[in-house]
Amino acid sequence: MRRRSGLSRWPSGSSPMARSSLAMATKTMSSRALLALAPAGFSTDNRFGRGAPPPVEQVLPEAPGPDPLEEAFARGAEEGEVRARAEYELRLAELEARYAGLGCELAEQAIDEGERLRSMLRETVVALCEQAVAPFALDHELLARRVEKASAMLMRAADERRIRLNPADKEAIAHLVAPGLVLEDDPSVMPGCIRIETADGGIEDGPMSWADAIREAVGQC
């Protein structure tokens, strides 16, 4: 049994060139037949021309509008910032005023403290000076010389001078002073002190007057 081939069979005895010419002729005749069936001239494309359908307008999507939620958030943030800044400035002004008042109070306290320290320093100096001069007030020979010096400061007759001493001091220096000086007992006079009275006034000398003089001198420093 013979297998059929899918190729056309050519007449036996024909050459390959003849077979090729025959194929070309067959193809040419087929193309002419198709052209004969086509309408003569150019054909109209319905997509273009008067009969063409109207162009379809493309609708562009609208731009998205602002988000109400985002607008509300931004507006709230702005209002909150303004309110927070106003509250901050108010608190800052209150703190500045408070610190200014505190500064005045501290300055006043510093002044008071400085004055208190100066007063303590003066009293300390006076106390040290009193301790230093206290032995001189109890020295009877020095007391006698002080009596003579104080009485000489008064330009009066001896009988007008009233020299008052503590009774113990009078007894201790009675033999040390000049004979013309009259000494009187006065229990109100502190030991080591001298009080001389005249019609025009008097003189007082002793630890108390020394302390007053020291305080005055220290107060001027």
Instruction: For the chain, give every domain's residue range.
Output: 138-219
Tokens 């493309």 belong to 58
Stretch among 2-11, 26-35, 72-81 having the lowest mean pLDDT: 2-11
Distance between CA atoms of residues 215 and 14, nearest Å: 161
Strand 194-198, strand 201-205: pairing = antiparallel
What pTM was estimated for this model as a whole? Answer: 0.43
Distance between CA atoms of residues 194 and 38, nearest Å: 164
Please check the confidence at residue 177 and state whether its pLDDT lies above 70: yes
Distance between CA atoms of residues 166 and 183, nearest Å: 10
Region of residue 41 (phi > 0: left; psi between -120 and 50: alpha; otherwise: beta): left
**In this predicted model, what pLDDT tens digit does every residue of 26-46 receive, in sequence order?**
555 555 555 555 555 556 656
Distance between CA atoms of residues 77 and 215, nearest Å: 71
Give mean pLDDT, residues 128-146. 83
Distance between CA atoms of residues 59 and 160, nearest Å: 137
Tokens 């509250």 belong to 87
Q: Tokens representing 17?
A: 């060139």
Superfamily of domain 138-219: ATP synthase, E subunit, C-terminal (3.30.2320.30)
Strand 201-205, strand 183-185: pairing = unpaired
Distance between CA atoms of residues 144 and 176, nearest Å: 6
Where does the pLDDT of residue 167 fall: very low under 50, low under 70, confident under 90, or very high at 90 and above? very high
Give mean pLDDT, residues 137-162. 75
